[in-house]
Chains A and B, each alone.
Chain A
Amino acid sequence: METVLRVAAVYFFLLVIFHIAGKRSMTQITTFDFVVLLIISEATQQAMIRDDFSVTNAFIVIVSLIGLEITLTWLKQRFPVADRFIDGLPLVLVDNGRPLRQLMDKARIDEDDIMTAARSSQGLERMDQIKYAVLERSGGISIIPKQ
């Protein structure tokens, strides 16, 4: 029983931690963030598997994780509130070529991030070519160019 409780505790702890860290923390593609992700995976594995190296224990951990996933997706479908709480909502950061500074500061996104997304996804050159820039639920930035 304890294994299932541990898995649940770690799962929800990670959920909360990544929400606190902010969406950008999850999709940054710098080398350092990659390293952090690797280390986190090691730490969580230690906590869940501990010193029980049997196949049975591995199965318990895996099934518990999948079970939690399924429960959460079911909850999200059933209760829209849960959906927003777990996945979040998109946020418009650039409105008709106008960067919304306050929101960008709060979301910890600077013009550089937006221009990087604009260049890599749309091949745009300048901020005034952007109609909308939206921080999506996934943490990525999608760009709508001006026609």
Chain B
Amino acid sequence: MGRWRAFAPGAVMERHGDLDIRHDLDFHRRLFRVQRIGWAVLTLFILAALLGLIGAEGPLNSGAADNDELRLEFERFPHQESPTKIEVTLREPARRGERVELWVDATYLNAVNLEQVSPQPEEVIAGQGHFRYVFKTARPGDTFSVAMLFTPKSAGRLRGELRAGENGAPLRFRQFVYP
């Protein structure tokens, strides 16, 4: 333990004027500098939070992805065990008749706790590595939106893939879940 003394000058009681005190100005100078650095980091953190880099409301948190058939809006940085939602809009080419299908990959669905799909699907079919959500529409040709409400189970990267039915082009998106 004696060799640690080299890193702890001023760790001994010294006489300072009439005071017996463990006094070390160098320590305090370093501490003040560290504090200033800490304040800078705090400011950056608050800035990141305001911009949405850490999740919750903010411009950087609103993610969107689209292809010919689908448009997706999602939160880029959801929080673990906090509700978040993705909104999928099916555009014209995807509209085929009365029934609309949305295929969601199973890995994504297994990584989250799905709470609600609105509107409610008519049926949910388990396929190969995906789930098919089948919706009934009153007026084929209208734009159709599905909102899926869920809570991510754990922190880390989330990769999802959607497609509008069997021959739909895949739409991939990525999220990062903060703990």
Which chain A residues have a beta carbon within 8 Å of chain B's beta carbons?
6, 16, 19-20, 22, 50-51, 78-81, 83-84, 88-92, 95-96, 103, 106-107, 131-132, 134, 144
For A6, A50, A78, A90, the residue with the greatest tally of chain B CB atoms inside 10 Å of its CB is A90
Residue of A nearest to B38 (CB): A20
User: When A and B form their complex, what is the total count of cross-chain residue pairs whose Cβ atoms lie within 8 Å?
Assistant: 60
Residues of B with C-beta under 8 A to A91? 23, 28
Contact B8 A103 (CB under 8 A): no
Q: Which residues of chain A have C-beta atoms less than 8 A from B64's C-beta?
A: none
- Considering the chains assembled together, what is the distance between the CA atoms of A134 and B16 in angstroms? 12
List, in ascending order, chain A residues with CB within 8 A of B39's CB.
20
Task: State whether B81 touches A51 (Cβ < 8 A).
Answer: yes
Q: Are A84 and B27 interface neighbours, CB within 8 A?
A: yes
Q: Which residues of the partner chain A approach B35 to less than 8 Å between Cβ atoms? A: 19-20, 22
Whole-angstrom distance between the alpha carbons of A81 and B1 in the complex?
11
* A51 CB contacts on chain B under 8 angstroms: 81
Please determine whether B8 and A132 come into contact, CB atoms closer than 8 angstroms.
Answer: no
Q: How long is the Cα–Cα vector from A112 to B8 in the complex, in angstroms?
A: 33
The verdict on A92 contacting B27 (CB below 8 Å), with A16-B38, A81-B4 known, is no
Contact B23 A92 (CB under 8 A): yes
Indicate if B10 sits at the interface (CB-CB under 8 A).
yes
Q: Are B17 and A89 in contact (CB under 8 A)?
A: no
18 residue pairs of the A-B complex, CB under 8 angstroms, read: A50-B81, A78-B1, A81-B8, A81-B11, A84-B11, A89-B10, A89-B22, A89-B23, A89-B24, A90-B21, A90-B22, A91-B28, A92-B21, A96-B17, A103-B28, A106-B28, A132-B18, A132-B19
Q: Is B46 an interface residue (CB 8 A)?
A: no
Residue of A nearest to B41 (CB): A20
From residue B168, how far is it (CB to closest CB) to chain A in Å? 37
Bound Cα distance A1, B67 (Å): 41
Which residue of B is nearest A137, CB measured?
B22
Residues in A whose Cβ lies below 8 Å from that of B4:
79-81
Distance between Cα atoms of A96 and B18 in the complex (Å) = 10
Cα separation A137 to B81 with both chains bound (whole Å): 39
Q: Is the CB of B32 within 8 A of A144?
A: no
Interface residues of B in 1-47 (CB under 8 A from A): 1, 4-5, 7-8, 10-11, 16-19, 21-24, 27-28, 31-32, 34-35, 38-39, 41-42
Which of B16, B19, B22, B42 lies in contact with A20, CB distance below 8 A?
B42
Q: Is the CB of A84 within 8 A of B18?
A: no
Cα–Cα distance between A50 and B16 once the two chains are bound (Å): 50
Given A20-B42, A80-B4, answer yes or no on A144-B23 (Cβ-Cβ < 8 Å): no
Q: A103 CA to B18 CA in the complex, in Å?
A: 19
Residues of A within 8 A of B16 (CB): 92
Closest beta carbon of chain A to B141's beta carbon, Å: 43
Q: Which of B7, B17, B38 contacts A95 (CB 8 A)?
A: B17
Tell me whether A80 and B11 are in contact in the complex, defined as CB-CB below 8 angstroms, given that A90-B23, A106-B32 are known contacts. Answer: yes
What chain B residues lie within 8 Å of A131 (beta carbons)? 18
Q: Is the CB of A92 within 8 A of B19?
A: yes
